[in-house]
């Protein structure tokens, strides 16, 4: 049986965390709570927000993927010591910022591993995109079948290009280049 090395495990950790949150997030399953509700609104009084954030923290407390969500929030750099404006992973933004400050070294290594993983994914997708774009459509099977094969190829190329664009934009935004750079 193939066993994953600890380095490989570190490099796939973010995808595992993300998949867990997507599959089990309590907040996503509560139809009445949209993602915007997890942030303090512009002009929302602190008293109203604190009452609301206590309710959000209560939802997190019962969430089956609390630990995964909290780890992602820490890796994403969510929260700020100086402003009380969000709840994620069972913590307020200020609690997340304090927790991150206590484990800077571990999180820096985790984020570096996440970004390496992302880079490899980008390279793989770019190779797949190139292969798909230059592939000759199958000439067998008549015009209708060829047209269908061509349409499927075009769809695949568009999907791969969108994935590549999304990853590139995220990397550029993180490094301060802006989405359009
Ligand atoms: S821990 Fe809270 S914010 Fe995270 S997925 Fe669960 S309910 Fe949503």
Residue 87 · residue 60 · CB < 8 Å: yes
- Tens of pLDDT, residue by residue over 101-152, are 999 999 999 998 888 888 888 888 888 888 888 887 666 678 888 888 888 8
Asked whether 70 and 25 are in contact (CB, 8 A), the reply is no
Those residues whose C-beta lies under 8 Å from the C-beta of residue 92, and which sit 6 or more positions away, are 53, 57, 79, 84, 86
Mutate to test the pocket of ligand 1, among 32, 37, 78, 88 (most ligand atoms within 8 A of CB): 88
Question: Domain range for residue 137?
Answer: 116-174
**Ligand 1 centre distance from Cα of residue 74 (Å):** 13
φ, ψ dihedrals at 52, nearest 5°: -65, -40
Residue 130: inside a domain? yes
Q: What is the CB neighbour count within 10 angstroms for residue 88?
A: 22
Residue 181 lies in a domain: no
The count of structural domains within the chain is: 2
Specify whether 11 is located in the same domain as 96.
yes
Q: What is the pLDDT of residue 181?
A: 30
In the chain, the percentage of residues whose pLDDT exceeds 70 is 86
Q: Please, what is the angle between helix 104-134 and helix 93-102, to 10°? A: 100
What stretches of 76-103 show up as alpha helix (H) in DSSP? 93-102
Domain contains 108: no
Residues lining ligand 1, CB < 6 A? 21, 25-27, 59-60, 63, 65-66, 69, 88-90
Per-residue pLDDT at 179: 42
Q: Which of 18, 5, 16, 10 is nearest to 116 (CA)?
A: 10
Question: Cα–Cα distance between 181 and 176 in angstroms, integer?
Answer: 9
Q: Where do the DSSP E strands lie in the chain?
A: 87-88, 91-92
Instruction: Output the pLDDT for position 93.
Output: 96
- The verdict on residue 81 lying in a domain is yes
Q: What's the pLDDT score for residue 100?
A: 96
Q: How far is ligand 1, taken at its centre, from the CA of residue 136, in Å?
A: 46
CA of 70 to the centre of ligand 1 (A): 8
Q: Confirm if 116 and 11 have CB atoms less than 8 A apart.
A: yes
| Closest ligand 1 atom to 24 CA | 5
Give the closest residue to 86 by CA, choosing from 60, 62, 106.
Answer: 60
Residue 96 and residue 14 share a domain: yes
The Å distance, Cα 117 to ligand 1 centre, comes to: 24
Structure tokens given for 54: 């206590």
Nearest CA to ligand 1 atom 5: 25
Separation CA 155–CA 159 (nearest Å): 6
- Tell me the pLDDT of the chain (181 aa) as tens digits: 456 677 667 767 888 888 899 889 998 877 656 667 889 999 999 999 999 999 999 999 999 999 999 999 999 999 999 999 999 999 999 999 999 999 999 999 999 888 888 888 888 888 888 888 888 766 667 888 888 888 889 999 999 999 988 888 887 776 555 443 3
For residues 98 and 121, state if they share a domain.
no
- The rounded distance, in Å, linking the Cα atoms of 121 and 118 is 5
Protein residue whose Cα sits closest to atom 4 of ligand 1 = 89
The atom of ligand 1 lying closest to the CA of 28 is 8
Give the mutation target among 17, 19, 20, 21 for probing the ligand 1 site: most ligand atoms within 8 A of CB. Answer: 21
């Amino acid at each position: 049986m193939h066993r994953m090395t600890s380095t490989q495990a570190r490099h796939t950790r973010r995808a595992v965390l993300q998949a867990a949150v997507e599959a089990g997030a309590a907040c996503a399953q509560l139809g009445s709570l949209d993602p915007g509700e997890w942030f303090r609104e512009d002009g929302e009084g602190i008293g109203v927000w604190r009452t609301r954030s206590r309710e959000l923290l209560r939802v997190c407390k019962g969430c089956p993927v609390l630990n995964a969500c909290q780890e992602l929030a820490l890796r994403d750099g969510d929260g700020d010591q100086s402003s009380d404006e969000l709840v994620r992973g069972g913590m307020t933004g200020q609690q997340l910022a304090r927790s991150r400050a206590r484990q800077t070294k571990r999180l820096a290594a985790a984020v570096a591993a996440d970004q390496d993983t992302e880079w490899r994914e980008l390279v793989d997708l770019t190779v797949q995109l190139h292969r798909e774009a230059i592939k000759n459509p199958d000439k067998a099977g008549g015009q209708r079948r060829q047209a269908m094969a061509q349409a499927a190829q075009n769809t695949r190329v568009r999907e791969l290009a969108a994935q590549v664009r999304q990853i590139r934009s995220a990397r550029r935004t993180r490094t301060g280049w802006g989405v359009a750079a």
